[in-house]
Structure 1
Amino acid sequence: MKISYDSEIDALYIRLLEGSCECRTLRLNDEVALNIGPGETLIGIEILDAKQIFGSDQLPSISLENIGYALAS
C-alpha cells in the first residue's frame, strides 16, 4: 500500500495494490473516487480537497495497527 499527497492540488491518493492495470473510476461524490481494476478489485482511493474533507488545515497522522511487515534489505 502506498499513500501519497499532492499539496499543489490538495489531493490524497491511497493505492492499495502495486503494479499497473486498467482501471475504471467510480465517483462517490465530487471529492472521492474509487479506482476499480479487473475482477472489481479496489485498486485505489482518491480524495480531492483533502484538507477540507479531513476538517483541518493539515492532514491527519497515520497509524498502522495489527499490520505485519517485513523490512526491505
Structure 2
Amino acid sequence: MRVTYDRTVDAAYVYFTDPQDRVKSAHTYPCDPVDVDGMINLDFDEQGRLIGVEVLAASSKLPQYLLRSAERLGTEGA
C-alpha cells in the first residue's frame, strides 16, 4: 500500500492499487460527515472498485506513524 502526504495542505492519499499500475479515478465520492470534522474523498475506478482515499486535515485524522512514513509531496519533499 502506498501513502502520500502533503504537509503544506495537510492532505494524505492512501492508494489501494499496485504502485506499478496507472489507474485513473472515474468517480469521486466526497464524504463530509459532521462527526468526523473533516473531508474524506473516496476514488473509484470504472468498474466501481475503490482505488484510493484522500484525507484532508490528515494530521488530525490519521496516526502520526503513518504520516511520518508516507511519501512526501509538495515543497517539503523537494
Would you call these one fold, judging by a TM-score over 0.5?
A: yes
Letter in 2 for 1:21: K
Aligned with 1:40: secondary structure?
coil
State the percentage of identical aligned residues: 24
Aligned with 2:60: secondary structure?
helix
Q: What TM-score do the two structures reach when normalised by structure 1?
A: 0.67
Unaligned 5+ residue runs, structure 2? Answer: 33-37, 67-78
**Alpha-carbon distance, 1:38 to partner:** 1.8
Q: Whose helix fraction is larger, Structure 1's or Structure 2's? A: 2
CA–CA distance in structure 1, aligned partners of residues 24 and 60 of structure 2: 30
- Aligned partner of 1:9 in structure 2 is 9
**Alpha-carbon distance, 1:52 to partner:** 2.4
5 Å-filtered alignment, 1:45-56, equals 45-54=53-62
Unaligned 5+ residue runs, structure 1? Answer: 63-73
Say how many residue pairs are matched. Answer: 58
4+ residue runs over 4 A deviation: none
- Distance change (3 Å), C-alpha of 1:10 and 1:36: same
- Aligned partner of 1:44 in structure 2 is 52
CA–CA distance in structure 1, aligned partners of residues 25 and 12 of structure 2: 20
Aligned with 2:64: secondary structure?
coil
Q: What TM-score do the two structures reach when normalised by structure 2?
A: 0.64
